[in-house]
Amino acid sequence: LRLDKIHPLINGNKWFKLKHNIEFARRNNLKQLVSFGGAYSNHIYALAAAGKVFGFDTVGFIRGEIVLPLNPVLAFARSQGMKLVAVSRSEYRNKHQQDFIKAIHEQYSNCYILPEGGANDLALQGCAKIVQWLKWHSTAKNRYLAVACGTGSTLAGLIKGISSSAIAPIPELIGIAVLKGQGYLPGEVSRWLQGVTLENPVDWTVMEQYHCGGYAKSSSELHAFLTQFAGFTPIPVEPVYTGKLFYGLFDMIKTGRIPPDSEVIAVHSGGIV
């Protein structure tokens, strides 16, 4: 499912995460969108573009130093009018604490603060709507719907969306964790789903063995796979999220975790800068 193609600038899952947040800000007359991210954050990129398109001022608190010349993500964000503010790594760790949030509200009047990665309940509701775009082509009994996981909020949204859809047979959802940490992401997804009523039970799994060393890290296996992948499809992937998604899926097919005669939809969550 090519979410990388929905808009030239606000693409992938980040649009679905932002959509309801932007509506909320607009309804409440909030004029500035403020958020957090690393220097290569796709969320910061999409937020900057969305701010420009929908008429909000945007502020990005960037972890660590802002190195000049700006990298392509930050250069783009600034070109869209985003104000970039460097935050030391130690300060950044406290970004979601009350004092820090209070200081932001004092400095930026009428602002709406989005968490890192844009991950909140409105984002989850937006991601639930991705399900409307699925087209299953076969009558295969085994269906899988797969997505790369950072915060896990997109996967949680997909679980919610599938559970209240009329899709049958119900696919198993597979999240491919792009960061290291055993048990961390399943815990996060469960946390996102607390308080969400699932109309139909949905099987979901997070595969935690395809992170290739951790967030934005790579391995020679991943590198070799991506070279091979580029040889048989023009679909662009990047090594941080969607590259690991396909790496994991191909391995699951090879090892039989995904059996023959299954239908798999991989959600291409964007991230091509």
CA gap 218, 227 in Å, rounded: 13
Distances (CA, A) of 188 to 36, 61, 206: 19, 23, 10
Taking the complex as a whole, the smallest distance from the CB of residue 183 to ligand PLP amounts, in Å, to 16
AA letter at 143: R
CA gap 44, 35 in Å, rounded: 7
Backbone angles phi, psi at 199, to 5 degrees: -70, -40
Of 11-19, 73-81, 228-236, 246-254, the segment contacting ligand PLP by CB under 6 A is 11-19
Between residue 75 and residue 134, which ones bind ligand PLP under the rule CB under 6 A? Answer: 117, 119
Distances (CA, A) of 143 to 83, 153, 172, 247, 263: 44, 21, 6, 18, 5
Instruction: State which of residues 37, 51, 126, 152 lies at the interface with ligand PLP (CB under 6 A).
Output: 152
Taking the complex as a whole, the smallest distance from the CB of residue 48 to ligand PLP amounts, in Å, to 14
> Using the rule CB under 6 A, is 161 a contact of ligand PLP?
no
Instruction: State which of residues 18, 148, 193, 222 lies at the interface with ligand PLP (CB under 6 A).
Output: 148
Taking the complex as a whole, the smallest distance from the CB of residue 73 to ligand PLP amounts, in Å, to 11
With contact defined as beta carbons under 8 Å apart, do 111 and 104 qualify?
yes
Pick 87 or 119: Cβ nearer ligand PLP: 119
Interface with ligand PLP (CB under 6 A)? 12-14, 42-43, 117, 119, 148-154, 241-242, 269-271
